[in-house]
Chains A and B, each alone.
Chain A
Amino acid sequence: MTVPMVLMIYLLSQLFVQLALKMEDVLTEIPPPSRFFQEDLNNFTPPSSPLPSPFLLFSNPKPDQPLRPTLLIIALSTSSLYVFNHVSSKTLIGSVFLPEIPFSGNTFKPSLGNKSCNIYALNSADNLTLLVSIQCSVSTERSNVVAKLLIGEQIIPERVLILDSVQSQNFRGKLSSDETCAFKLETLAERKGQDGVCGVSSLLKGLDYFPSGSMVDGLAAALLARCQMRNIRGALCLSWPECGGSVVALIKSILQRTVLHGIDLSSKGDAEDKYLKFSKIKDHPFDSELYT
């Protein structure tokens, strides 16, 4: 046996070892999303310790008067957070505080790297548009209470736009990281508006509906469900992939077509911005409480 043959056999064996390590152990790996954990099916599982309620804090609060924006935009995806970070004509007016999210590592000035949920007013001649930038992970169990906080009590919007990414684990179609796309889901009130009953065009005109059989969970789902149940015009934009220049460009074009027509969304020329290169603002690879 020659040296090259021995080397090839060695390299092939290493490849098989690596493949085996990467292959999931079907017995011990977490089940796919449509199947349950044992605790999900146990009546006697003790509940988790209750968390303190989240709350809103405004810089200029009017306790007896809820805010009534014409449009409430809630940015959840990395790409939408990046786009809105570059909107210069926004004013910080408040924040959503989740007691379970630590502030350590946050800067005083709003920054994409902060774990925060800031509320901004977007300058608009006639109508108040509010933007909520959710730069931290909100657990599925907390989503309903956060959605209730954002819609229907201290903030009563006429219309809601939610921007999130397709959750690949809940998507039943084919998604390639080379492909940039966006889908929508809308409340009945928003769809009726398209038929001309209300005379106002859809927030996400031109996007295909999210395919049947695929689902969205978490905060985006809680927000849209709340809009549906409260008969509020609401739309959810689901973009793919999670980050990258192409999806940022797509989000910009969607927003400038309708929602933010006339607002400058151009970046500051920092094409090498690290948030375009790396995945997930919320789970940034440099984020660690060890290094605050």
Chain B
Amino acid sequence: MEFLIEQGKQLHQDCSTLLLPALSIGNVGQLAVDLLVSSTKAERIGYLDDPYILPCVGNDAYGPIPCGDLALPLEAYDSPASALTLIQQRSPVVQGMMIEFAKNLADFAVASGKKHIVVLSGLDFGRWQRIDMSSGLQTYYLSSTNNDGTDEYCEQLGWKRLQEYNPAQRSWKYLSALAEGNALEENRLPFEDELGEEDYYPSLPFAALFSCFKAKGLKVTCLLCYCSEGDNMPDAFHVAEAACKLLGLSPDNFHGDEGVKWLTPFSWKTVYGPPPDMSMF
């Protein structure tokens, strides 16, 4: 993975936190990063060129009026006021190369001196074992702070550790070994039809990112919320707000506009396609 800095831009050394999405159901992490980049008015500082990400291009995603600034698959933004670097990922990873991709991102994080990595992701509502909506939409987390995935600060914020994280379970162990580069042939997972429910969560992209960042000795926190495919903007708001709580940021201070916390990206206007043709009525 090569980091290509834009002309005239620089890496801000005081942006010690790296925030990025994991691919997931509902594209929740990517939508949340869109919202944070737009609202913090983070400045794009460069691109990440990786052989394992599929190509895509588009017009400026943020606005207020897109003027032809190219959007690329993997972009890095800095918000010095929030001490935050954000990476936005717009296209999928080549099938079978997720762990290599995660390793490359971890190498980038180390090379650019990041101290804390925050990964945003959705989880499939259909897999939720114990549904608890008593306190509204719950935020789940997974942290590298303690071996069991817990973190005292996240607990104080009222979040729940992902119960399905078990570092001793075969798939989590195998993932960890792959991330550290010492997976042995005899530890390979069984064939797909022999995998069980307990092998599902470690198979998800957020787990690859978590394991690879952790293997590099970086502090990593995954923020997760259950959702279904559909209009996932509310889920994006939820996860973005959770990220702000974790990092001690207040959306009220992002851009100074009176009474407006979040700025939705211009590209969200057509995320579900054009409005219906009214002439048919």
- Chain A residues with a Cβ under 8 A of chain B: 34-36, 39-48, 140-141, 143-145, 147, 172-174, 184-188, 191, 209-222, 224-225, 228-229, 231, 236
Contacts and interface: CB of A to CB of B under 8 A. Distances in A.
In the complex, which of the residues A35, A44, A214, A217 has the most CB atoms of chain B within 10 Å of its own CB atom? Answer: A44
A191 B63 CA distance: 17
User: 6 tightest A-B contacts by CB?
Assistant: A47-B96, A222-B55, A213-B270, A212-B66, A172-B270, A213-B267
Interface stretch (B22-30, B161-169, B254-262): B22-30
B90 interface: yes
Interface in B82-133: 90-99
B54 A45 contact: no
Nearest to B57: A221
B99 A212 contact: no
A229 B72 contact: yes
A229 B4 contact: yes
Contact of B96 (A35, A41, A45, A224): A45
B49 A229 contact: yes
8 contacts: A34-B27, A36-B23, A42-B98, A42-B204, A145-B51, A184-B68, A213-B59, A213-B271
Contacts of A221: 55-57
A234 to B, nearest CB: 9
B54 A236 contact: no
A185 B58 CA distance: 7
Nearest to A31: B229
A51 to B, nearest CB: 12
B280 interface: no
B58 A41 contact: no
Q: Summarize A's interface: helix, strand, loop or mixed.
A: mixed
A145 B49 CA distance: 12
B207 A43 contact: yes
B5 to A, nearest CB: 10
Contact of A172 (B97, B175, B274): B274
B272 to A, nearest CB: 8
A35 B23 CA distance: 10
Contacts of A187: 70
Contacts of A217: 54-56, 91
Nearest to A209: B68
Most chain B beta-carbon contacts within 10 A, residue among A191, A228, A231: A228
Given A43-B203, A173-B274, A174-B274, A236 B57 contact: yes
Nearest to A184: B68
B53 to A, nearest CB: 8
B149 interface: no
Nearest to B48: A229
A188 B25 CA distance: 33
A22 to B, nearest CB: 18
A144 B55 contact: yes
A188 B274 CA distance: 28
B55 A188 contact: no
Given A41-B203, A215-B56, A221-B55, 17 more contacts: A34-B27, A35-B27, A45-B95, A47-B97, A141-B95, A145-B51, A185-B59, A191-B68, A212-B58, A212-B267, A213-B58, A213-B61, A215-B57, A218-B55, A219-B55, A225-B55, A231-B7
B23 A41 contact: yes
B47 A228 contact: yes
B104 to A, nearest CB: 14
A47 B61 contact: no
A141 to B, nearest CB: 6
Interface in B250-281: 266-271, 273-274, 277
* Residue from B95, B207, B267 having most chain A Cβ neighbours under 10 A: B95
B281 to A, nearest CB: 16
B80 interface: no
Contacts of A147: 55
B69 interface: yes
A45 B97 CA distance: 8
Contact of A43 (B27, B59, B175): B175
A44 B179 CA distance: 12
A141 B72 contact: no
A211 B270 contact: yes
Contacts of B21: none
B14 to A, nearest CB: 26
B20 to A, nearest CB: 16
